[in-house]
Amino acid sequence: MNKTKQNKTEQNKLVTLNLKEDFSNLKKNGNTFRPVSWALFNYKKNIYTYSRFAWTIPSYLATAVIRNRLKRWCRTIAKEHKDLNNNDINIVFLRQKKDFYKNLNYETFSSGLKKALQNIQK
């Protein structure tokens, strides 16, 4: 692969939080708000020149198929907002009524997440 292709793929790559220390630091020292009834956002400025994303989806929320759909939707929206002023962002999905996440459509999901990400950007 030539160098320009490699740089483009590195620039387009979504960076995620994956260390336990990152999550605990974000929870302890970060800001928290709840823009929608079904999700909680933890965020904090980081020292990098890019944003890092994570999502916490406990297994009791829904079946694996539904949880994977939520992760896929999160990745799509995070890729659109990855230039978000170098923040660490964790989206925590909260317990809801039975079949809530199964019946959640993409338009409702994306409008809630985009509203929250715009709030973080301010």
Looking at per-residue pLDDT, the higher value among 9 and 76 belongs to 76
Q: Is residue 47 part of a domain?
A: yes
How many domains is the chain partitioned into structurally?
Answer: 1
Q: Is residue 76 part of a domain?
A: yes
Residue 55 belongs to domain with CATH number = 3.30.230.10
pLDDT tens figures, 49-98: 888 899 999 999 999 999 999 999 999 998 887 777 788 899 999 999 99
Q: Is residue 4 part of a domain?
A: no
Q: Is residue 42 part of a domain?
A: yes
- Residue 73 belongs to domain spanning: 13-116
CA distance 39 to 92: 6
- pLDDT for residue 50: 85
Judged against a pLDDT cut of 70, whether residue 3 lies above it is answered with no
Judged against a pLDDT cut of 90, whether residue 107 lies above it is answered with yes
